[in-house]
Structure 1
Amino acid sequence: MSSKQGVILYGPPAAGKDTVTAALTELSPRYAQFARLKVGIGKSAGYRMGTMEQLRELEAAGDVVYANTRYGNTYVIDAPGLDAAFAAGVPVVHLGQVDGIRALVDGYRADWSVVLLWCPRKATADRSLGRGDKDTAARLVAWDATREDLDAHPGAIWDLRVDTTVASPQDSARLIDHLLAQRAGAAAP
């Protein structure tokens, strides 16, 4: 088991990945959201904006751990970005694809805690509209894709499952923090 601990938050759009990550960073400054490299347009907050040339360079060096395309953009988890994130503390990586989890767990050596954050489709719609998203319809398509992804991978193993319509962001953060403390204790000599 690696001494580097990281958190993967998996779930559909508006399940609470950003909100739970914010609660984690309030709980402890060692947590920080991993800023994926984004090649495309639109929202830049929380991303490292990049170019197709940068993506090609990462691919040529074998430094792309996982990449996916959604909303017309390409989102990249890269080894140099992960190296920097681990040097700073405990990265919290947001994913919406089981294949992304597998690629990250298999492709970057660390002690990854995988957390399923879930909410019903209606909660995604309500939260998306409530926060003023202009692409709620696309987020509901992504919710459907996440549900299909889960159904297609019934053997996916979660270290923790949280229904974000029941657990508050602060309670979710405490559960995740406790999980990491348990895993660190189990790994201690």
Structure 2
Amino acid sequence: MSRKKPGVILYGPPAAGKDTVTRALAELHRRYGQFARLKIGSGRSVGYRMGTTAQLRKLKAADDVVYANLRYGNTYVLDRPGLDSAFAAGVPVVHLGQIDGIRALVNGYAADWLVVLLWCPREVTAQRSAGRGDSDTAARLAAWDATREDLDAHPDLAWDLTVDTTTAAPQDAARLIDQLLMRQAGATTA
């Protein structure tokens, strides 16, 4: 039986359903909660812990940055203190769009990570982005392209679960994730 706490990584392009599946997980069981990455920059603040460059420097100096990436003109950080707090509260669901981020998290933060690929075609990302009122759909499509290139460059990466969000309901994806995570953690019931 594992001694590490379970966590979920949802990987996929913009508008693949990471937020929607995370909400479905939280509705399924209150133990699940989205990990609020530290965001240095501007724009949307919902779902993030807004930080400063001084705060980022302190985290780097303390070797508390597990992974950081630049996208949409902002810096997004997976930080050790934030992850510690998220695990203390339950099962964190971490959203990522870079395979380097998955590897950094799996190798840099001790947990039983369930790694899930959520996917949708590029045209679906465009439709969903426009439908939710994004003002930066072109940037999101560029991120979709980068995600596809990232996947193509890492064909060796093994996914615990792959979900096509154009055919699977968020609640079904959440149930599958929960079942796999509980099995991985050695639990018999959710």
TM-score class, shorter: over 0.9
Residue identity over aligned pairs, in percent, reads: 76
Q: Is 2:173 the partner of 1:178?
A: no
SS in 2 for 1:167: coil
The alpha carbon displacement at 1:124 in A equals: 0.3
Distance (whole Å) between structure 2 residues aligned to residue 114 and residue 91 of structure 1: 12
TM-score (normalised: structure 1): 0.97
AA aligned to 1:8 is I
SS in 1 for 2:44: coil
Aligned to 2:94: 93
Q: Does the alignment pair 1:64 with 2:65? A: yes
What are the ranges of 5 or more consecutive residues in structure 2 without an aligned counterpart?
Answer: none
Name stretches of at least 5 consecutive residues in structure 1 with no aligned partner. none
For 1:145, what is the secondary structure of its paired residue?
helix
How many residue pairs were aligned? 187
Q: Is the 8 A contact 2:39 2:74 kept in 1?
A: yes
SS of residue in 2 equivalent to 1:32: strand
Normalising by structure 2, we get a TM-score of 0.97
Q: Which residue of 2 aligns with 1:41?
A: 42
Residue aligning to 1:124: 125
Letter in 1 for 2:35: F
Superposed CA offset, 1:21-58 (max 9, x none):
00000000000000000000000000000000000000
CA contact 1:2–1:109 (8 Å) conserved in 2: no
Question: How many angstroms does 1:185 deviate by?
Answer: 1.9
Distance 1:2 1:13 in 2: 33
RMSD of aligned residue pairs (Cα, Å): 1.1
Q: Aligned pair 1:19/2:44, yes or no?
A: no
What secondary structure does 1:22 align onto? helix
Hey, what does 2:8 align to over in structure 1? 7
Kept in 1, the 8 Å contact 2:7–2:114? The answer is yes
Residue matched to 2:75: 74
**Deviation of residue 186 (structure 1)?**
7.2
